[in-house]
Amino acid sequence: MSCLVKFGFGGVQDFIAQARMTRDLAAGSRLIQSLSVQAAGSEIIKSLAQAAANRVQGELILPPPADEKGTPPEAFPHQFVFRFEGNLEGACKAGNDLRKSVLQDVEGKLCAALKNADGQFQKEEGVKEDDPRLKQHLRSALEVYWVAIEETGDYEKDYKLLTRLFDDRRHTRTFEQIQSFSGEPGNETCSQCGVRPRIGHGTITSGKGLFYTKDKLCVVCAAKRAWSGSGIDTVPNTYKLSRWRAYMDPVYKKWNDSKDQFDLPLEEVGNPDLRKDLAKLSPYWALIVFDGDQMGKWFSGEFAPNSADLWSFQVKLAQAMNSFASKVKELCDSNEDEQEKQPVFRVYTGGDDGLILSPFDFALPLAEKIHSAWVDCMAKIHGRKKENTIAPTLSLHISLLHAKEPLQPAVADLHHYLDQAKEKGGRDCYSILANVRAGSPAWMVSGWKQWPIFVEALESLTNYRMSDFSGSFVRIPNSDERTRRNKVALSARLPHAMMEAMERFYQDDDAKTLVSKTALLAEMHRIIGRRSRGGEEHSSAILQFLEPRMDGLPEEGSAKDKPSCSPIRGPEALRSAFEVLAFMARELRWGGEE
């Protein structure tokens, strides 16, 4: 007799998003990844090699097991499926033992990290180190679930039942109620997560350090912060990400001896002349999140060819996802010598999804490479939808954020924007949020088929070129090159002028019906002609990008469904494109100072 067991973590996005600093973000993600690898490695993967210390006898099904050298896959999600050789009672015991083991690992890792931070984090009066409530808070930081069923011989039917039961299990709450403290700090909640009661605060007010006096943290957030200082590599903060050009642009060579101040808030930069030069740089950086479209349906076999064996199809799909994760890792990770050339930081890649911190300059090149890597890795995965042959697609979202923008709400909103992009853009799409510091945010959605023409339209408005950041080495344009590009660039006011002119071409009704596309195109062409400084060699790119948006979204694409929520009408589709293009053209522009 054999059973199928599905095991995984719940509340992962919330656990990761409870972050005030980029190192908190990375620590939450890396902690979950290490627990996932450790659980599957010690309990399941090693069982395939008949390890003596094995506690779960079975076969790992998803993700693929480690290679011959014992190296776990790059694409290690927070859920996995294994086959247990034995009866259902034994499978349930194995799942429960694994759950207890993981919770103990969580508690042990976080307790050890917080203990190592003594002297940097000061506990509130009344909070004792051996207080059992602290360990209870640590145990409830993550939700750990498992379900088990007996196999019937029909793997496809069994897998669908297992998935449904696991989804039902995730909607139940079985961990203890979070206990509060009496007296100080009482029920005052953590300044970072807002969920658990705080237990202490940091000891420094400014400069570089792990804990600051304004960090009034619970035991979980404090332990994550402490773990980030010892258990993972150095993570760039938002100031370093937004000021990447200061490290590479020859204009800033005169400040080489003051590089240690480049990643400080402007008000903490001691030299007024350096502070003035750093203030000239764009203060924006990028958060990039991506996710495969409808991968649950792909793994359940809904899109599998009629003659395909589901288990074989799943293994092939999981291997393709592992290859994709490896390629993304290669794109992002760099050695110390290359760190200043490509200072992007991979927070996680879980198979079909991932999160990356990036300087603004690298956001577009990196997004394009990630999509290309997905297409390459999924080229041999052929599915069926109705009468069409399809392949798995990827959607991606970029949030452009100010260095002073609070991190936690920005991270929490990432998947909301990505889900909205999938719904309103018809999947197989990308979206860009320009979260303007002083003004309303602008959000644009478009299909990947429109990507090349979007990049060309953007480059027609500025002296930034994506190709400068797409090769093996970064190319910094010199002063003459910047001047030459400025001469052929269209006016920076162009998007605003076109946005003001478009309104009268739409009827004032619920559908926002376009009166005449021909007339609107003619008006746009006239505005471009009046505001073009370097001829009209780039004007066609803007019109080609805008024309499909005039009738609203979703744009036509392969195997796309209509959105299940209200569609984006023509004026909104155009306005969002104008606002995002104008913002990116302004913030990506290279200055000409020497």
**pLDDT, greater one: 30 or 147:** 147
Does 593 or 408 have the greater pLDDT score?
408
Residue 50 pLDDT exceeds 60: no
pTM of the predicted model as reported, rounded to 2 decimal places: 0.88
Instruction: Answer yes or no: is 539 within a domain.
Output: yes
Q: Which two tokens stand for residue 442?
A: 């602008």
Residues 400 and 434 sit within 8 Å (Cβ to Cβ): yes
Q: Per-residue confidence at 291, pLDDT binned at 50, 70, 90?
A: very high
With a cut of 70, say whether residue 572 has pLDDT above it.
yes
In angstroms, the CA 520 to CA 464 distance is: 28
Tell me which of 279-293, 362-376, 421-435, 565-579 is least confident: 565-579
In this structure, is residue 233 part of a structural domain?
no
One-letter identity of residue 513 = T
**Using CA atoms, how far apart are residues 271 and 279, in angstroms rounded to an integer?**
12
- Structural element, H or E, at residue 14: helix 12-17
CB crowding 464-484: b at 16 or more within 10 Å, else e: bbbebbeeeebebbeeeebee
Q: By mean pLDDT, which of 2-16, 83-97, 141-155, 330-344 is the weakest?
A: 330-344
Mean pLDDT across the stretch 370-376? 95
Residue 564 is predicted with a pLDDT of: 54
Residues with Cβ < 8 Å from 342, sequence gap 6 or more?
332, 334, 362, 474
Nearest to 246 by CA among 260, 268, 228, 262: 262
Smallest Cα–Cα separation from 78: which of 9, 169, 159, 4?
A: 9
Q: What is the pLDDT of residues 416-438, one digit of tens each?
A: 999 988 888 888 999 999 999 88
Percent share of the chain, pLDDT over 70? 83
Helix, strand, or coil (residue 544): helix
Answer whether residue 238 is part of any domain.
no
Q: Are residues 427 and 466 in the same domain?
A: yes
Is the same domain home to 252 and 371? no
Per-residue pLDDT at 69: 58
pLDDT at 594: 41
Residue 208, sorted as left (phi over 0), alpha (psi -120 to 50) or beta, turns out to be beta
- For residue 561, is pLDDT > 60? no
Q: Are residues 198 and 258 in the same domain?
A: no
Q: How far apart are CA 119 and CA 159, in angstroms?
A: 51
Do residues 92 and 8 both lie within one domain?
yes
Give residue 54's pLDDT.
38
pLDDT at 47: 45
Give the integer Cα–Cα distance in Å for 461 and 262: 29
Is a pLDDT exceeding 70 seen at residue 175?
no
- Do residues 45 and 7 make contact, with C-beta atoms less than 8 angstroms apart? no
The pLDDT of residue 62 is above 70? no
Confidence of residue 537 (pLDDT cuts 50, 70, 90): low
547 with 426, same domain: the answer is: yes
CATH of the domain at 42: 3.30.70.2220
pLDDT at residue number 61: 63
Q: Do 61 and 81 contact (CB within 8 A), yes or no?
A: yes
DSSP state at residue 560:
P
Query: Can you tell me the distance from the alpha carbon of 276 to that of 278, in angstroms, rounded to the nearest whole number?
Result: 6
With contact defined as beta carbons under 8 Å apart, do 350 and 75 qualify? yes
**For residue 77, is the peptide bond before it cis, meaning its omega torsion is within 30 degrees of 0?**
no
Question: Are 251 and 351 in the same domain?
Answer: no
278 has pLDDT over 90: yes
Beta pairing class for 121-123 and 216-217 = unpaired
Alpha-carbon separation of residue 513 from 95, 275, 443, 446 (angstroms): 57, 50, 21, 20
Does 233 have pLDDT greater than 60? no
| Residue 593 in domain | no
Q: How confident is the model at residue 72, as a pLDDT?
A: 58
Domain identity same for 272 and 162 = no
Tell me the pLDDT band of 152, cut-offs 50, 70 and 90.
very high
Fill in the amino acid letter for 62.
L
pLDDT of residue 337: 44
Match 């590599």 to its residue by tokens: 233
> For all residues of the chain together, what is the average pLDDT?
82
For residues 246-271, give the mean pLDDT: 89
- Give domain status of residue 443, yes or no: yes
Is the model's pLDDT at 74 over the cut of 70?
A: no
Return the pLDDT at 108: 84
Cα separation, 542 vs 459, in Å, equals 10
Given this model, what pLDDT does residue 57 score?
A: 47
The pLDDT, as a whole number, for residue 24 is 87
Q: Could you list the residue range(s) of the whole structural domain that residue 19 is in?
A: 2-228
Is the domain of 222 the same as that of 264?
no
Surface-to-core class of residue 173, CB atoms within 10 Å of its CB (0-12 exposed, 13-18 middle, 19+ buried): exposed
Q: Indicate the range of 12-26, 362-376, 431-445 predicted with least confidence.
A: 12-26
Instruction: List the CATH number of the domain containing 555.
Output: 3.30.70.270
The pLDDT tens digits of the residues spanning 307-332 come to 678 888 888 888 898 889 889 988 88
Q: Write out the DSSP string of 438-487.
A: TS--EEEEEEGGGHHHHHHHHHTTSS--GGGGTSSS-----HHHHHHHHH
Compute the distance between CA of residue 71 and CA of residue 49 in angstroms, rounded to an integer: 13
Task: Report in angstroms the alpha-carbon separations of 535 from 9, 274, 459, 578.
Answer: 57, 38, 15, 20
Residue 546 belongs to a domain: yes
Share of the chain above pLDDT 90, in %: 28
The answer on 100 and 57 residing in a single domain is yes
E strand residue ranges, 185-248: 200-202, 216-217
Same domain, 193 and 295: no
Query: Which of the four pLDDT bands, split at 50, 70 and 90, describes residue 484?
Result: very high
Whether 146 and 204 share a structural domain: yes
Conformation bin of residue 351: beta by default, left when phi > 0, alpha when psi is -120 to 50 = left
Residues 339-372: tens digit of each pLDDT: 444 578 888 887 788 899 999 999 999 999 999 9
In a domain, 544, yes or no: yes
Say if residues 517 and 475 touch (Cβ distance below 8 Å).
no
User: For residue 194, is it within any domain?
Assistant: yes
Helix axes 494-502, 570-588, angle to 10 degrees: 170
> Tokens 């912060």 sit at which residue?
225
What pLDDT band is residue 458 in, cutting at 50, 70 and 90?
very high
Q: C-alpha distances in angstroms, 126 versus 82, 121, 199, 204? A: 45, 15, 9, 22
pLDDT higher for 72 or 146? 146
d(C-alpha 457, C-alpha 446), whole Å: 13
When divided into structural domains, the chain yields a total of 3
| Per-residue pLDDT band at 279 (split at 50, 70, 90) | very high
DSSP-derived secondary structure for 339-350: TTT---EEEEE-
pLDDT tens per residue across span 193-214: 888 888 888 888 887 778 888 8
Same domain (yes/no): 561, 583: yes
* Strands 388-390, 383-385: pairing kind: antiparallel
- pLDDT recorded at residue 342: 58
- pLDDT tens readout for residues 516-527: 889 999 998 888
